[in-house]
């Protein structure tokens, strides 16, 4: 699900009836040489991610979760209802990713996206893990078949929209200015969606 580099990759979320749901994802990509988490750290990290996600409201208290790890990443995500409707992943190289579903059928509203990005980035920054000195935030929304770019019915011409990192931030600065960074990312994302959806 999470690629080794910082580029957002496409993932599709399928409900049991095979209908699509759309998701907003943010990644904090480490800049420069960060080092790597030990492989033995990944399995116990899954339960920490689950507890962290519940504590910060990414997951409901009673919501069943899927915990997963490989030799490169650890993740916790929702297991019931729409698969992977929200989740959090950490890779050994320091890349952190969090995502949540967007309301179906509603237009993408910038103020709502700001709040969601702020919550997701705050959750990622609050993880009790070593952090790199600098990160580059990357955001994506996908799939676009259910995204509306404005107040009227629209048609998607792309499967996803990715907004690559336009700026890198010292982690301490990002923690202090997370709302302002979320505003900038949301503005770029919504503008990109409106270009792709007509």
139 touches 185 (CB < 8 A): yes
Residue 90 belongs to a domain: yes
Residue 3 belongs to a domain: no
Residue 4 belongs to a domain: no
Residue 37 belongs to a domain: yes
Parent domain of 187: 13-196
Closest CA to 93 of 150, 41, 156, 25: 41
Residue 6 belongs to a domain: no
- Per the structure, how many domains does the chain have? 1
pLDDT per residue as tens digits for the range 93-131: 999 999 998 877 667 788 999 999 999 999 999 998 888
Residue 2 belongs to a domain: no
Residue 46 belongs to a domain: yes
Residue 182 belongs to a domain: yes
Return the percentage of the chain with pLDDT > 90, whole number. 44
How far is Cα of residue 17 from the mean position of the Cα atoms in its chain? Answer: 24
pLDDT per residue as tens digits for the range 45-85: 999 999 999 999 889 888 899 999 999 999 999 876 554 58
Predicted pLDDT of residue 130: 86
């Amino acid at each position: 699900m999470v690629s080794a580099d910082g580029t957002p990759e496409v993932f599709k979320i399928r409900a049991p009836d095979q209908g699509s749901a759309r998701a907003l994802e943010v990644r904090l990509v480490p800049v420069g040489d960060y080092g790597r988490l030990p492989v033995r750290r990944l399995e116990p990290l899954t339960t920490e991610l689950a507890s962290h996600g519940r504590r910060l409201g990414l997951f409901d208290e009673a919501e069943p979760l899927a915990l997963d790890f490989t030799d490169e990443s650890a993740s916790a995500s929702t297991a019931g209802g729409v698969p992977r409707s929200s989740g959090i992943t950490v890779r050994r190289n320091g890349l952190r990713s969090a995502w949540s579903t967007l309301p179906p059928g509603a237009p993408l509203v910038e103020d709502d996206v700001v709040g969601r990005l702020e919550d997701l980035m705050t959750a990622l920054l609050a993880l009790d893990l070593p952090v790199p000195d600098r990160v580059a935030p990357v955001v994506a929304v996908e799939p676009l078949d259910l995204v509306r770019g404005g107040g009227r019915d629209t048609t998607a011409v792309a499967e996803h929209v990715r907004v690559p990192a336009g700026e890198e931030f010292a982690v301490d600065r990002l923690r202090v200015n997370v709302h302002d960074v979320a505003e900038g990312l949301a503005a770029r994302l919504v503008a990109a969606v409106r270009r792709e959806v007509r």
